[in-house]
């Protein structure tokens, strides 16, 4: 198997910690140039497509963002119980240890993932500010977890409670090895500069 099969087990303790740190750090502040760039990108998509995307992502009070191109709010933890059309090995990891996922504003609201619009924003100063914000958030949250034994204990307790005795079982057949030959063959075909 080269696949992710397990659903994500959220962890509210860590999610609340991440949001607390995001709020303490403060959301990125967008320049007038970044806002103008975002407006130009957002103009390529209908408001209804944008609103459909926000509703599908279960953004609270989505209507509030109808005329907003770049998010400046830090939302409460959300998404628990939702289903994603994609897969991620984060699901597998979340069955082994308390895990959290979070997003930051690296693109215009409603831009389709994996689109030119998403890439244009992520590759701009908008994406860079978002990246720095995410890095600060992860660092602050890691420090909190490393230095607060009680917090780690609460996160682990919630994790075990959610699993309710279920355990992770790898879908890989016993004795499987990493398919390095595939990677090596592809590496050999890659043009070198």
**pLDDT (tens digit per residue) in 85-107:** 677 888 899 999 999 999 999 99
Mapped onto helix, strand or coil, the DSSP state of residue 157 is helix
Query: pTM value?
Result: 0.85
Q: Which alpha helices (H) appear in the chain, and where do they start and end? A: 12-25, 32-42, 47-56, 89-94, 116-122, 125-147, 149-163, 180-189
- pLDDT at position 138 over 80: yes
For position 148, what pLDDT does the model report? 99
Burial (CB count within 10 angstroms: exposed 0-12, middle 13-18, buried 19+), residue 94:
buried
Q: What is the pLDDT of residue 49?
A: 93
What is the distance between the alpha carbons of residues 136 and 66, in angstroms, rounded to a whole number? Answer: 29
| Of 53 and 25, the one with more pLDDT | 25
């Amino acid at each position: 198997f080269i696949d992710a099969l397990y659903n994500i087990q959220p962890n509210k303790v860590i999610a609340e910690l991440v949001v607390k740190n995001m709020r303490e750090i403060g959301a990125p502040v967008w320049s007038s140039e970044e806002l103008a760039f975002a407006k130009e990108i957002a103009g390529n998509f209908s408001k209804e497509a944008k609103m459909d995307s926000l509703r599908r992502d279960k953004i609270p009070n989505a209507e509030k963002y109808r005329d907003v191109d770049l998010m400046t709010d830090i939302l409460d933890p959300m998404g628990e119980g939702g289903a994603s059309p994609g897969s991620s090995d984060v699901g597998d990891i979340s069955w082994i240890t308390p895990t959290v996922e979070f997003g930051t504003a690296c693109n215009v609201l409603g831009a389709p993932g994996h689109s030119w619009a998403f890439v244009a924003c992520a590759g701009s100063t908008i994406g860079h500010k978002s990246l720095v914000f995410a890095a600060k958030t992860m660092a602050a949250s890691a420090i909190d977890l490393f230095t607060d034994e009680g917090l780690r204990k609460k996160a682990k307790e919630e994790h075990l409670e959610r699993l309710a005795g279920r355990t992770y079982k790898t879908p890989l057949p016993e004795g499987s090895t990493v398919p390095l030959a595939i990677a090596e063959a592809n590496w050999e075909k890659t043009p070198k500069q």
